[in-house]
Structure 1
Amino acid sequence: MLNPSKLDCITILSAAREVGEDALLHLDPHTLGLTRNGMETAAAFLIERACFKRHHNGNGQYAVGGLSLQGKLRLDQLANG
């Protein structure tokens, strides 16, 4: 797997931080201002590291829930580290 860019990860984690408890954020590269490849790489990387309370990946479309504790820690680490 390719390593995602720090900025792509921060963008996805920041967007997911605003998601309500039971909601899912459908990741759209155009809305997030990312390339499709960058978004997919970062989303897969973050999902594998359990950064979201829940997620869905179907037909090449990603949707993520709010941040898990791991996701909050990773966002803090990327933004401040």
Structure 2
Amino acid sequence: MTTGTLYVQDNYPDRFESAWCYFNVTKSGITQRFDLGTKAYGKPVEHGNATTSALRASGISSAAFEAGKTVCQWPAS
């Protein structure tokens, strides 16, 4: 799982611009990225979606994908 937060230098540390959360799965030498969500300052989290075929091809269950969303850490806004 990877999370990140983008700040503009003039606003650091009081205000972030955007934040994200995702994970990668590598299977048969191919890496696929699954976005769990993004967040802009003052806005709610926009949760990511994954197609059933992408999850199946990567060996990830829908339940595991949904559970991944709950462990993302988001900055306060």
Q: Relative contact order: is structure 1 or structure 2 higher (C-alpha 8 Å, sep ≥ 6)?
A: 1
Query: Where is the strand percentage greater, Structure 1 or Structure 2?
Result: 2
Query: Where is the helix percentage greater, Structure 1 or Structure 2?
Result: 1
Q: Which has the larger radius of gyration?
A: 2
